[in-house]
Amino acid sequence: MDMLFKKLPLLIVLFCVSCCASVKEQRGAQNESQVLKDVKTLSSTEFEGRRTGTAGAEKARKFIIERFKNLDLQSFPSFTDYIQSFTLSEKSDSSHIGENVIAYIPGKIKEAIVLSAHYDHLGKKGSQLYPGADDNASGVAALLEFAQYFAKNKPNFTLIFAAFDAEEMGLKGAKAFVADPPLALERIKLNINMDMIAHNDTGELYACGTYYYPQLKKYINSNQSSLKILLGHDNPSMGHDDWTNQSDQGAFHAKKIPFLYFGVEDHKDYHQPTDTYENINQTFYVQAVDGILEIIKTIDSKLSSQIQIDKNKVMF
């Protein structure tokens, strides 16, 4: 037999492997480019640090709303064009108004999960810009990625996508949401919050909430081999290192709604002008987004099945 024909099976195998790898790389690159592009956009100078009540914050809202509309996400009847307005203080001028951006995808069951990330940051202090790439353009970009996935893959739970305002002012957007929710609070079974998920040099992403809600531990796993998802930062004995009330999940916890909060430990660029797109860990961030999505999908599948089996259960 000719040597070419002897080698033909091997050549075919190598060609197929090469093609599959190429397709996988292209597919991954496309996913990465969108979520990274969103972080880069939201933390650009055009958005002026997204401080509550500023033109930069308004641009961020329009950006998020446009994406929600393009994905055909629904707005609650009690809100106007996805916006939930709330007062920041007793003063009535526009600089003392906050605006959450809220959308939802109806699920197969009426119970809901709130996926959240705050879009506000520190804005400008004098001439110094605080871009807030990790804090929290990273969380908002992840939220948009999850919305895109579930817009194409109908969830079991009704999924609420909440881009909260005024987190940096004391979780005021999240507190306004739970004080005046668009559906009965007892229908909300879980809050999954993302705040600072793009900047860690050792591949460590924390999932906190299982100290109070240990039943959630079984859902926290990921196929991202180089991503380390750790539990912790939720024990009250840790003092300042207890993150339970340090981001928007605190408002849900106060209402006895279980939560998972995904975030990284503080880094040198936290609340600094150097929290830029260039300083996030891009590979880690994409893996973190993929890992959190895996966990959401697992919860949506397994927890919804449990609720359907026993409709009398209030929690899990």
pLDDT digits 0-9 by tens, 46-87: 999 999 999 999 999 999 999 999 999 999 999 999 999 999
Strand pairing category for 123-125 and 83-87: unpaired
Q: How far is CA 279 from CA 32, 200, 300, 307, in A?
A: 16, 10, 33, 42
Could you tell me how many helices (H) and strands (E) the chain has, helices first?
Answer: 6, 10
What pLDDT shows up at residue 96? 79
The answer to whether 300 and 113 have CB atoms below 8 angstroms apart is yes
What are 230-247's pLDDT values in tens digits?
999 999 999 999 999 999
**Inter-axis angle of helices 282-309 and 138-152, to 10 degrees?**
50
296, containing H or E segment: helix 282-309
213 against 312, higher pLDDT? 213
Q: How far is CA 232 from CA 115, 171, 260, in A?
A: 20, 21, 11
Is the model's pLDDT at 225 over the cut of 90?
Answer: no
Whether 5 shows a pLDDT value over 80: the answer reads no
DSSP class of residue 14 equals H
Q: Is 305 exposed, middle or buried (0-12, 13-18, 19+ CB in 10 A)?
A: exposed
Give the orientation angle of helix 3-42 with respect to helix 282-309, to 10 degrees. Answer: 90
Count Cβ atoms within 10 A of the Cβ of residue 44 and give its class: 0-12 exposed, 13-18 middle, 19 or more buried.
middle
Quick check: 290 pLDDT over 90? yes
- Residue 231: CB atoms within 10 A of its CB come to 15
Rg (CA), the chain: 21
Domains of the chain: 3-309 (3.40.630.10)
**Taking all residues of the chain, what is their mean pLDDT, rounded to a whole number?**
89
| pLDDT at position 7 over 60 | no
Beta-carbon contacts of 138 under 8 Å, excluding residues fewer than 6 positions away, are 39, 194, 196, 197, 198, 199, 280, 285
Average pLDDT over residues 185-213: 97
Confidence of residue 287 (pLDDT cuts 50, 70, 90): very high
- Predicted confidence band of residue 93 (pLDDT cuts 50, 70, 90): low
